[in-house]
Structures are given as structure tokens and as C-alpha cells.
């Protein structure tokens, strides 16, 4: 089954079993009704942190959405040709760089940002959440906004931030951007600890970003 469709079906089944309407889930998650409807039909992909928000609302672990999305494998190496890829939007492709998503406190990913139709086509939406983030640019020129300040990162440049500060990133060039992103805490294990404070604010556009 298609990866996006499998996640969408699980979300719909959980939502209906808990008597949630799309409108209620939209209001609590900050995601539009139209997007959620497309997500449940497997038409749209969802960012990991947005999925973590839905998992929290529906009282399930984030990892439950991926339990049967791929075979178990004892090989600890994520080979380049088999990295788990998700197209978040027409401009954003995410590769998960960990074989065991729930075993580690950090969450490593590779992002590819395609050129935009227009470098200045719209304003970027800022967001914040708990944790820390590290970014290392491999290819292209990445624009990052942190606390209202713009930073331009070139290949081999890096930045580390507190995620509680409003931030976002974007490709404003006509060439592809590729960068490594490492997040802590790992959203796949946040919901496994019942005694932790799970009141994390994940306010993000469903199409502009995946997880930073």
C-alpha cells in the first residue's frame, strides 16, 4: 500500500473511532480541513512534526503510524539507495537517516529543497516548538530565519538553534538545496513517556516545511 495512503487511513480510522470531526481535528492541530481531507485519502504528505501533533491529539505514539510501513531489518546502516523518502510538498523531499527511529534521542534527516517558481513568491511562516536543531548545508544556498533575523548558509556552513525561537528555512534560489538536519528531542519517542510534558507547540504550515 502507498505510504501516504497507509498513514491517511490510520488517521481517519483513529479520528472516527474517537468521534472527531475533520473540523475538530483541524482546530486542534492547526492544519486546514482541506489538507486533512487530502491526507486521509493519501493525496498529500505530512511533515513529521505535524504528524506528531496529530498523534498527540489522537492519543497514540508517532511510531504507530510507521509500524507496518516497511520490513524489519537488523542492518544498522541506512544505505543511500534505500533511505526512506517522503515528498512533503512539490519543493521539499525528506529522507530519514535512521534505521531505528525510536531508539535514539536525536532525529537525523536529509532535506532536498527544489527551486521555487519565484524566489519571492510568498512570505515564509515562522513557527516554534520544544528542542534544539542543527543544520549543515551540503549543496546550494539555504536561507534561514531565526527570531526575525535572516541567515544565508552556503555549502559547509552550519547553524544550531533553540527550537523555541520562532524560525523556518527556505530555498530562495533557482538551484536545488541539500542539507542535513538533526533534531532533539526525537519526535518518534516523545510520546512514549507518559510522565513527560507533551504540551509541545508545533505551529507550522502543512506545505512550507517538514520539520525544522
pLDDT digits (tens, 9 = 90+) for 11-40: 999 999 989 999 999 999 988 999 899 889
Res 118: pLDDT: 62
Res 4: pLDDT: 75
Q: Which residues pair with 30 in a beta bridge?
A: none
Res 120: pLDDT: 55
Burial class (CB in 10 A: 0-12, 13-18, 19+), 61: middle
HSE (side-chain half, CA atoms, 13 Å) at 102: 13
Q: Does position 200 have pLDDT exceeding 70, yes or no? A: no
Residue 79's closest CA among 103, 101, 102, 95?
95
Res 47: pLDDT: 77
Q: Does position 101 have pLDDT exceeding 90, yes or no? A: no
Mind listing the domains of the chain with CATH numbers? 3-65 (1.10.260.40), 80-190 (2.60.120.10)
Res 74: pLDDT: 66
Residue 84's closest CA among 92, 73, 96, 93?
96
Res 157: pLDDT: 97
Res 68: pLDDT: 54
Cβ neighbours of 70 (radius 10 Å): 11
Q: Give the 3-state secondary structure of residue 39.
A: helix
Q: Which residue has the cell 531489518?
A: 73
Amino acid at each position: 500500500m502507498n505510504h501516504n495512503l497507509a498513514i491517511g487511513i490510520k488517521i481517519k480510522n483513529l479520528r472516527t473511532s474517537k468521534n472527531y470531526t475533520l473540523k475538530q481535528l483541524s482546530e486542534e492541530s492547526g492544519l486546514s480541513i482541506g489538507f486533512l481531507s487530502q491526507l486521509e485519502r493519501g493525496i498529500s504528505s505530512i511533515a513529521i512534526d505535524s504528524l506528531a501533533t496529530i498523534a498527540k491529539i489522537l492519543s497514540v505514539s508517532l511510531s504507530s503510524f510507521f509500524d507496518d510501513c516497511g520490513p524489519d531489518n537488523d542492518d544498522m546502516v541506512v544505505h543511500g539507495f534505500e533511505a526512506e523518502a517522503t515528498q512533503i510538498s512539490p519543493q521539499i523531499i525528506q529522507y530519514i537517516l535512521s534505521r531505528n527511529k525510536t531508539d535514539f534521542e536525536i532525529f537525523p534527516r536529509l532535506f532536498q529543497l527544489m527551486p521555487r517558481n519565484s524566489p519571492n513568491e510568498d512570505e515564509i511562516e515562522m513557527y516554534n516548538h520544544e528542542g534544539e536543531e542543527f543544520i549543515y548545508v551540503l549543496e546550494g544556498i539555504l536561507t534561514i530565519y531565526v527570531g526575525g533575523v535572516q541567515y544565508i548558509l552556503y555549502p559547509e556552513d552550519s547553524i544550531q538553534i533553540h527550537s523555541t525561537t520562532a524560525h523556518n528555512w527556505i530555498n530562495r534560489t533557482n538551484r536545488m538545496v541539500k542539507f542535513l538536519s538533526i533534531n532533539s528531542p526525537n519526535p518518534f519517542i516523545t510520546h512514549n513517556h507518559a510522565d513527560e510534558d507533551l504540551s509541545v507547540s508545533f505551529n507550522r504550515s502543512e506545505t512550507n516545511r517538514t520539520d525544522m
